[in-house]
């Protein structure tokens, strides 16, 4: 389950919300439970709903609870697009350090997803 703190919905930008705002339609519910990734440390697969979620200057940070590995960052686009930085969907960039699966859709890992953050580079 996602960590829920006071003001959770007002402050965090979730991957599912980015998909919704981009107008992406799916037979699957657009919820974190349906976005599957794997831990860069141990290789275990898990849904994004099992991540801790927090905001900092880089954006909304998804971290693995058991090892605190940064899995992905949802941020605003950078001024100058950079190859391997992430996947832009309208007003957001999903910067995933590991592959994400949403049903049959694969969002491949972005090699520079964590560049400049000090989070698992």
Structure pTM?
0.84
What residues are paired with 102 via a beta bridge? 35, 105
In 6-115, which ranges are continuous DSSP H helix? 8-11, 15-21
Q: Do the domain assignments include residue 62?
A: yes
Q: Do the domain assignments include residue 117?
A: no
Q: Do the domain assignments include residue 115?
A: no
Per the structure, how many domains does the chain have?
1
Nearest-angstrom CA–CA distance, 96 and 37: 9
Q: Do the domain assignments include residue 112?
A: no
Q: What is the pLDDT of residues 48-72, one digit of tens each?
A: 999 999 998 889 999 998 888 899 9
Q: Do the domain assignments include residue 64?
A: yes
Coarse DSSP helix, strand, coil percentages of the chain, rounded to the nearest 5 percent: 15, 30, 55
Q: Do the domain assignments include residue 114?
A: no
Domain with 59, as residue range(s), is 8-107
């Amino acid at each position: 389950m996602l960590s829920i703190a006071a003001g959770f919905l007002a402050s965090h930008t979730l991957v599912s919300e980015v998909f919704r705002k981009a107008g992406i339609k799916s037979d699957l519910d657009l919820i974190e439970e349906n976005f599957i990734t794997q831990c860069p440390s141990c290789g275990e697969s898990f849904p994004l709903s099992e991540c801790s979620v927090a905001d900092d200057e880089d954006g909304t940070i998804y971290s693995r609870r058991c090892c605190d590995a940064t899995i992905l960052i949802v941020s605003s686009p950078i001024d100058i697009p950079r190859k391997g930085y992430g996947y832009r969907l309208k007003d957001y960039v999903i910067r995933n350090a590991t592959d994400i699966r949403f049903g049959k859709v694969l969002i491949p890992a972005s090699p520079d997803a964590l560049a400049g953050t000090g989070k698992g580079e």
